[in-house]
A and B are shown apart, each in its own frame.
Chain A
Amino acid sequence: MTISLLEESAAGYTLWGYAARQPGGEEKVVFRLETDSQGVLLSAAARQSDGVPVIGKGGEIMIQTRWGDAPSLVAFDSLPKAEVAFGQP
Chain B
Amino acid sequence: MKKYRVFILCLAALLVLHAFALGLVLPQRAAQMLPLQEGGAAYIPFVGNGEKVNALCLVDEEGQEVWRRAIEPVFLPWVGLHRLSDGSFVVLGSQGDLHNLVMQFITPQGEMKRSITFQNLLMPLLQGGDFFYGTLPGQPAQVMRMDLESNAQPLPSPGVEGSLRWTEPCGEGFLLWASRVVQPHQDADKQVVEDSLYLMNPQGEALRVTRAAHQGFFGGMDYAAVPNRLGGFTYVRQGEKHNSKYLVCAQGDQILWQRPLRGMFIP
Contact = CB atoms under 8 A, between A and B. Distances in A.
Interface of A: 1-8, 13, 15, 17-25, 28-29, 31, 33, 35, 38-41, 44, 54-59, 62, 64, 67, 69-75, 78, 84-89
Contacts of B243: 1
B261 A56 contact: no
Interface of B: 19, 21-30, 33, 35-41, 43, 61, 221-229, 234-236, 243, 245, 247, 249, 257-267
B35 A2 contact: no
A28 B267 contact: yes
B261 A2 contact: no
B234 A70 contact: no
Given A2-B222, A56-B35, A88 B260 contact: yes
Given A6-B234, A8-B234, A55-B35, A84 B263 contact: yes
A89 B260 contact: yes
A75 B247 contact: no
Contacts of A39: 234, 247, 249, 257-259
A67 B265 contact: no
Contacts of B43: 71
B261 A67 contact: no
Contacts of A64: 33, 35
A70 B28 contact: yes
Contact of A88 (B228, B229, B259, B266): B259
Contact of A86 (B22, B26, B39, B262): B262
A21 B263 CA distance: 9
A29 to B, nearest CB: 7
B41 A67 contact: no
Nearest to A75: B23
B24 A72 contact: yes
Nearest to B43: A71
A2 B258 contact: no
Contacts of B22: 67, 72, 74, 78
Contact of A72 (B25, B221, B224, B235): B25
Nearest to A35: B247
Most A-side CB within 10 Å, residue of B37, B39, B223, B265: B265
A64 B227 CA distance: 25
A53 B91 CA distance: 22
Contacts of B263: 1, 19, 44, 84-87
B36 A57 contact: yes
15 contacts: A1-B266, A6-B225, A6-B226, A8-B226, A25-B265, A38-B259, A39-B234, A41-B259, A55-B37, A69-B28, A71-B26, A73-B33, A86-B262, A88-B261, A88-B262
A57 B38 contact: yes
A86 B29 CA distance: 34
